[in-house]
Amino acid sequence: MSKTTLAIIAGVSAAAGSAATAAIFASRPQRKDSLPPTASSTPTSNYAPAPLTPVSQLPALRKDLIPPVNPTGIFQYGFPGPTNDLHPTLSTTSSFDRRTRNPAWVAEHITAASINANNADRRHSYFVEDETIPEKFRARLHDYFRSGYDRGHQVPAADAKWSQDALDQTFLLTNMCPQVGEGFNRDYWAHFEDFCRRLTNHYPSVRIVTGPLYLPKRDHEDGKWRVSYEVIGDPPNVSVPTHFYKVIFAEDGKTGGDVSLGAFVLPNARIDNEKPLQGFEVPIEAIERASGLEFAGKLPAQRRKRLCEQVTCSLLVRDYADRQKNLMESPPPKKLGAGPTPK
């Protein structure tokens, strides 16, 4: 991934605008004076955070001063937030962002046994609104109607075929974000999901965290970077992410063993299937800074391995129509060369 891409991802903490793709994923070199603050272009997990100010150096509270006001008294009427709804299901654990009506992140756990099970049929599953979310903050089915976007699974249905109930729960709108359909959700993104499933041929346990990003784009007129993204629904309700990330933890199965980490950021746009997956690899710290989330704070550096140095990070492309035709055929084969399982 280019220095421009990493600088944008690592240099911002909030974002949006699918037009960022052109600036972020441009393959030609950029002039140094056109870049936001730079970041390392080499994916790495050896990250040293800035030291925190010791408590002893913080301004001391005056014990002799009695304030004439009580700002925290507002809590008698309720806590304003922000509130992130932690939402566990059989197949996922997620945190929902009430402001964007999208999940902030969705985590899953897959193994060879769970992927190869075939105890469910997605033809019996339906997209449903998640009634655990307060109504005024909920994504609605009609928000997606004629929006031009797919209801894009963050944890794919194909990862939960070990149970009909587990598969059904992947169709909750709290597991969805608006995604470009042709060329992304039904193509490159689906192949990427298949890559994740095929990791279970090499690792006994694979954990994946997926979610949206809202990255900035550079205004060609004044050169400034701005956050801009579409909102779908009538009235406008659900934010359209500019990008999506996946953070992959491929575990060797040993207590205190090695964990192969992979972090990827893809634009919410058509992507040529010939584009190498490693072109979207970024340092995990870049996603953390852009999303405001932390993924591996408790994983010591000595246990970390770079995923794409342990396995070949590449996609196997299979036509979408082909996948749909064989929707509920046999479970995914164990060979690494198998094509993607339908979402």
> Could you list the active site residues?
153
CA-wise closest residue to 332 among 159, 167, 210, 153: 159
Estimate the crossing angle of helix 284-291 against helix 3-11, to 10 degrees: 40
- The C-alpha torsion from 193 through 196 and 197 to 199, rounded to 10°, is 160
Structure tokens at 311: 């396995």
Specify burial of residue 61 (Cβ count, 10 A radius: 0-12, 13-18, 19+): exposed
- CA atoms of 143 and 151, how far apart (whole Å): 10
Residue found by looking up tokens 């190869």 in the block: 116
- CA atoms of 179 and 189, how far apart (whole Å): 10
* Residues 6 or more apart in contact with residue 282 via CB below 8 angstroms: 1, 5, 6, 9, 43, 263, 264, 265
35: which DSSP letter? S
